[in-house]
Amino acid sequence: MADHSAKSSNGHPQDFEVRILRQDGPGQGSYWESHRVAYEPDMNVISALQRIAAQARTVDGKGVAPVAWECNCLEEVCGACTMVINGRVRQSCSALIDRLLADHPGEIVLEPMNKFPVLRDLVVERSRLFRALKRVKAWIPVDGYYELGRGDKQSQAEQEVAYPLSQCMSCGCCLEACPQYAKIEVSPLSGESSEALQQRRDAEFDRGFVGAHAISQAMLFNAHPTGRMNASERLDTLMDEGGLQICGNAQNCVAVCPKQIPLTTSIARAGRATTLRLFQRWFDC
Amino acid sequence: MAKKRVMVIGGGLAGLAAAMKLAELGIPVDLMSLTPVKRSHSVCAQGGINSVSDLTRQEGDDESKHFDDTVYGGDFLQHQPPVKEMTLWGPKIIDLMDRLGVPFNRTAEGYLDRRRFGGTLYKRTAFSGATTGQQLLYALDEQVRRWESAGLVTKYEYWDFLGPVLDESGVCRGCVGQDLVTMEIRTFPADAVIVASGGSGLLFGRSTMSMVCTGSAVSRCFQRGAKYGNPEFVQVHPTAIPGADKLRLMSESARGEGGRVWVPRTPQDPRDPKTIPESERYYFLEERYPKYGNLVPRDIATREIFDICVNEGLSVEKDRQCVYLDLTHISRRELDRKLAGILEIYEKFQGVDPRDVPMKIFPAVHYVMGGLWVDYQRTTAGGLNIDSPRTHVTNIPGLYAIGECDYQYHGANRLGANSLLSCIFSGLIVAPAIKSLLDSQKGPEPSSLLYESARREHQSLHDGLLGRRGGKENPYLIHQELGDVMTRAATVVRRNAQLATALEKVNELSERAQNCSLSDTGNWTNQNVVFTKALLDMFPLAKSILMGALARDESRGAHFKPDFSMPDLKATEPGERRREAEKWCDWFQENTRQWLRSTIATWNGKNPDLTYEAVDTSLIPPRPRLYGLAGAQIIDEVWRQRSQAQANAATNPAMAGTAAAS
Ligand SMILES: Cc1cc2nc3c(=O)[nH]c(=O)nc-3n(C[C@H](O)[C@H](O)[C@H](O)COP(=O)(O)OP(=O)(O)OC[C@H]3O[C@@H](n4cnc5c(N)ncnc54)[C@H](O)[C@@H]3O)c2cc1C
Ligand code: SF4
Ligand code: SF4
Ligand code: FES
């Protein structure tokens, strides 16, 4: 390993190493590659990756294709930049280099999320996450967008329950950390159209676990005065295959959510609501 | 004949509003975006969205005042009918977003809470914590997902819009896109294309904007003949946190909730700011603008902060420009309820709790007022004919533009919390316009050859880039240089010599960029080639900004040229001061005559050509824009008297001589 004792006068290292688990495409093998980045104040993992892209050269001086990754907002609100950093799933834009180096001097390790198929390097395919939002009908079923007056009055207390749930940015950290959430990777068949592939993929997704984020969204919409009108449809989905019963209540999800969404509270609420729904269904038939 | 389809480029607030409304009208929509639409830049918007409310109405507010604030804030450089219509729709739009489930903050009784924003005296701004854009975007994203489930919307996420497809008569017949994963290039036939691709902050390197805000989609339309309006008007937000990768915004809502901007009266006072007594603090915005205080419009706040640091040497720190933005006098509970989202950003990235310690902030590039030129049809009452197919169409028939990427609503300066409104508004009104267009379209569909040749053209450009050998320029480094040049010459203060040098430099960078070699020449998720294309497309816009700024020898809104501004009044003796004010007003009148017109850039294949367009100011006559600046009231007074005299002259010509003489 390289010598990390070189420090500039202000106690910061002159540079640091970033070790990245790369993969050239779906279904291909992965490999480790190390890059050296000159230290600058106020860096985060994104700015380090930007330097790496500009250099496109490994520690050994080998010219390589720039590492692929995703980001957009750079302020932890868009959910794009999720990756596994020093073993922990999190947003890379808010992962500050100073703090990472303080915890783990000299080297930063980046890996793609494990629960989603890798497209390339640190970029993964997360459409399952959005598919889950369709499964639980995460929307308000309004009549339309013409002028129909204002919405319902709501108390401050209700707003203060809804708002945190509504901050879910579909980053997928909760899914990466969940022991019950298993990766689903559907590879294209030869000659298959992209529409046909998508259909097959969605069917697979719909059998898999919906995940903590979608359960929490279902609870958000079930609490809304209009959203409540399809509460039972959402609950039925949660009682179906891939629904709430998969959750083992390990509580890993809530620990890693960058938005500190009270996922386990939502899960508990969903548990009570589905139980009631079960009784209701017995009486209905 | 196949069913009519519409292609929407971009799924921020504007694009999603358009998609959802089109779907409601039964029109199938294809929605293309670089990112999953839920991750669009609109999620960054923090502070809120404006409209007149039942409460402000009883304080004397109404839509005409919102209209007036917007036009005055924009220094009269926007056509007035679209702005008037937008402010009329404001309350309806907030009601709609409320119905769609946006968790707006509430009053104790359960109504929507409001806060004050810059450039107005009323508390018009509805908000959802300090992440209003995120909440509005999610509500629209959810509705679009609902239509996607119903089969009316088809998303193409992770696709790059490469340009419109125009037929022999110059009508837009669809577009070309590239899949960012497989790198496949294909065409999308469409009966109308709506560009809703947002701003272009990346031209300035670092800004408050997101990483996909490259302006590439706009530039690709511009290079195909779409006109670009008011390129030189770029908003620099007064309060951002300087950072290595991004200048993170500290929303105006911080001041709306009572935040105060100050510097120690002693330059670089080393004391802990909390221990500096009131008498030794300089609340320069409050002192200079007693009426609006910390909530003067952005261009003014930015120039004052810049002036305090650069000209008066009062920056809080020695080797870094910054001033204090102080919230520490407000209770934690109140701050957490209304501003948690932005305070967490400061805490996370600066490692300091702004509830305890004043924040250090400095201006940053934030928003582009300029954008694709779009049309409208005026009603006799001065509003918009919404159903007209001309609403939001560019000069290319069939190609529409909405949201931050059009030039329509904000003139020379945008007021805070008016953009979320203009984005949703333009998205909602473009749908009926397009319906009218589709209903009136006849004639044969274009031949498949048109699409095939468009695809082939883009494919060969792409292959050419990948195959380039021997170039040694690095696209990322050229981008950095471009950002530095643009930030130095074309932000807060503009001088002709600097602009001319910058233009030369940008021309040179644009040449050098032709020699970029790619470090990735593969055809799978190649971000290197996508970025290089976006970089190449930054130059036409950058040149337009610099040329527009160079040509405009005046100061207006965000465009400030001290060499062409009227000096402040100097005299103290009342008679002399009045004479100076008279002179100031003469100058203002002449300047208005000469410069109250929009810059229109047209691409000639190598460079932008500039022409000018008259502005419809028929509803609110232009007036000096001083925001009650201390000491300048006499100018407003002189101007009022002149306008009064003019109005009298118009109604009673015989009196004209007497009024002017008095
Ligand atoms: C930090 C910050 C805070 C703000 N706060 C406020 C506020 O409080 N109130 C307010 O009124 N305004 C605010 N604004 C301004 C406001 O957020 C934006 O003007 C608005 O969100 C723009 O929305 P849009 O729909 O036009 O574009 P965006 O939300 O930027 O969306 C653009 C879309 O176009 C797509 N796109 C772009 N290029 C291409 C391409 N080549 N191919 C395919 N797709 C493409 C993107 O993927 C994206 O989906 C703020 C801005 C910033 C930067
Ligand atoms: S509580 Fe449920 S959803 Fe959360 S991590 Fe555990 S098993 Fe997964
Ligand atoms: S619940 Fe939290 S961790 Fe899960 S997707 Fe939403 S924001 Fe991310
Ligand atoms: S870039 Fe948006 S969350 Fe990190």
| Statement: residue B4 has pLDDT above 50 | yes
pLDDT bin (cut points 50, 70, 90) of residue A118 is very high
B-chain residues near A134 (CB < 8 A):
145, 148-149
Across residues B36-42, what is the average pLDDT? 98
Q: In a 3-state reduction of DSSP, which class is residue A105?
A: coil
Q: Are residues B228 and B281 in the same domain?
A: no
pLDDT band at B2 (very low <50, low <70, confident <90, very high): low
Give the mean model confidence (pLDDT) for residues B484-490. Answer: 95
Burial classification of residue B582, based on how many CB atoms lie within 10 Å of its CB (0-12 exposed, 13-18 middle, 19 or more buried): middle
Q: Are residues B228 and B251 in the same domain?
A: no
Domains of chain A: 2-120 (3.10.20.30), 126-284 (1.10.1060.10)
Instruction: Report the alpha-carbon distance of residue B264 to residue B282 in Å, rounded.
Output: 6
In a domain, B494, yes or no: no
Query: Under a CB-based contact definition with an 8 Å cutoff, are residues B63 and B52 in contact?
Result: yes
pLDDT tens readout for residues B550-609:
999 999 999 999 999 988 899 999 999 999 999 999 999 999 999 999 999 999 999 999
Across residues B283-306, what is the average pLDDT? 94
The burial of A194, by beta-carbon neighbours within 10 Å (0-12 exposed, 13-18 middle, 19 or more buried), is given as exposed
**Last residue in a domain, options B449, B476, B493:** B449
Q: Are residues B353 and B260 in the same domain?
A: yes
List helix spans (H) across chain A: 45-55, 97-103, 127-135, 156-166, 173-177, 194-207, 212-223, 231-239, 252-256, 263-284
Specify the 3-state DSSP secondary structure of A4.
Answer: coil
B348 and B379 together in one domain: no
**Per-residue pLDDT at B242 exceeds 90:** no
Q: Is the ipTM of this complex over 0.90?
A: yes
pLDDT band of B440, cuts 50, 70, 90:
very high
Q: Is residue B281 predicted with pLDDT exceeding 60?
A: yes
- pLDDT tens per residue, range B295-346: 999 999 999 999 999 899 999 998 889 999 999 999 999 999 899 989 999 9
Residue A76 tokens read as 């932890």
- Asked if residue B197 has pLDDT above 60, the reply is yes
Strand partners, B114: B126
Tokens of A140: 């308000």
Provide mean pLDDT across the span A177-203: 95
- Would you call B345 exposed, middle or buried from its count of C-beta atoms within 10 A (0-12, 13-18, 19+)? buried
Catalytic residue among B298, B552, B556, B625: B298
The answer to whether the beta carbons of residues A8 and A41 sit under 8 Å apart is no
Is B230 a member of any domain? yes
Residues B343 and B377 in one domain: no
B529 assigned to some structural domain? no
Residue A250 pLDDT grade (very low, low, confident, very high; cuts 50, 70, 90): confident
Residue A133's closest CA among B570, B141, B234, B418?
B141
**Facing residue for B145 by CB, picked from A71, A133, A221:** A133
B468 within domain boundaries: no
For chain A, how many residues are written?
285
For residue B143, give the nearest of A80, A139, A166 by CB distance.
Answer: A139
* Same domain as B34, residue B14: yes
Q: Across the strands, what pairs with A212?
A: none
Which residue is listed with tokens 């480029």? B9
Burial class of B96 by CB neighbour count within 10 A (0 to 12, 13 to 18, 19+): buried
B250 plus B293 within the same structural domain: yes
Q: Domain count of chain B?
A: 3
- Three-state DSSP class for B388? coil
State the smallest CA–CA distance between residue B590 and chain A in angstroms.
44
User: Is B305 within a domain?
Assistant: yes
Rg (CA), chain B: 25
Using the predicted structure, report yes or no on whether residue B614 has a pLDDT greater than 90.
yes
- pLDDT tens across B55-97, in order? 999 999 999 999 999 999 999 999 999 999 999 999 999 999 9
B524 domain-assigned: no
Amino acid A10: pLDDT: 64
pLDDT in tens, B410-427: 999 999 999 999 999 999
Nearest to A78 among B111, B210, B428 (CB): B210
- Both B252 and B286 in one domain: the answer is yes
Active site residue B593: no
Q: Which of B392, B418, B449 is the last residue of a domain?
A: B449
Do B224 and B253 fall into the same domain?
no
Asked whether residue B207 falls in the same domain as residue B311, the answer is: no
Return all residues near B339 (Cβ < 8 A) that are at least 6 apart: B129, B130, B251, B253, B254, B257, B327
Final residue before a domain boundary, out of B319, B337, B364: B364
| b (16+ CB within 10 A) / e for B205-240 | bbbbbbbbbbbbbbbbbbebebbbbbbbbbbbbbbb
Residue B434 sits in a domain of what CATH number?
A: 3.50.50.60
Q: B184 and B83, same structural domain?
A: yes
User: Both B39 and B145 in a single domain?
Assistant: yes
**Within a domain: B542:** no
Residues with CB under 6 A from ligand 4: A 71-74, 76-81, 91, 93
Average pLDDT of span A65-90: 97
Average pLDDT, chain B: 95
Asked, for residue B594, whether it belongs to a domain, the answer is yes
Nearest residue in B to A123, CA atom: B525
pLDDT range class, residue A41, cuts 50, 70, 90: confident
The range of the structural domain enclosing residue B208 comes to 6-43+79-90+130-235+367-449
Task: With a cut of 80, say whether residue A11 has pLDDT above it.
Answer: no
A261 Cβ closer than 6 Å to some ligand 3 atom:
yes
Predicted pLDDT of residue B391: 98
Residues 6+ positions from B248 with CB-CB distance below 8 Å: A74, A75, B208, B240, B241, B345, B346, B349
pLDDT band at B654 (very low <50, low <70, confident <90, very high): low
**pLDDT tens by residue, B147-156:** 999 999 999 9
Sheet-wide strand order for B159-166? B159-166, B172-179, B185-189
Q: Which of A83, A130, A167, A213 to mutate to test the pocket of ligand 3 (most atoms within 8 A of CB)?
A: A213
pLDDT of residue B660: 40
Q: Is A213 in the pocket of ligand 3 (CB under 6 A)?
A: yes
**DSSP state for residue A185 in the 8-state scheme:** -
Q: What is the CATH number of the domain that holds B266?
A: 3.90.700.10
Strand B597-603 relative to strand A15-23: parallel, antiparallel, unpaired?
A: unpaired
Helix (H, G, I), strand (E, B) or coil at A124: strand
Q: Which residues in chain B have Cβ-Cβ distances shorter than 8 Å to A138? A: 142, 145
* Cβ count within 10 A of residue B591: 19
Show the beta-strand stretches assigned E in B510-637. Answer: 597-603, 608-614
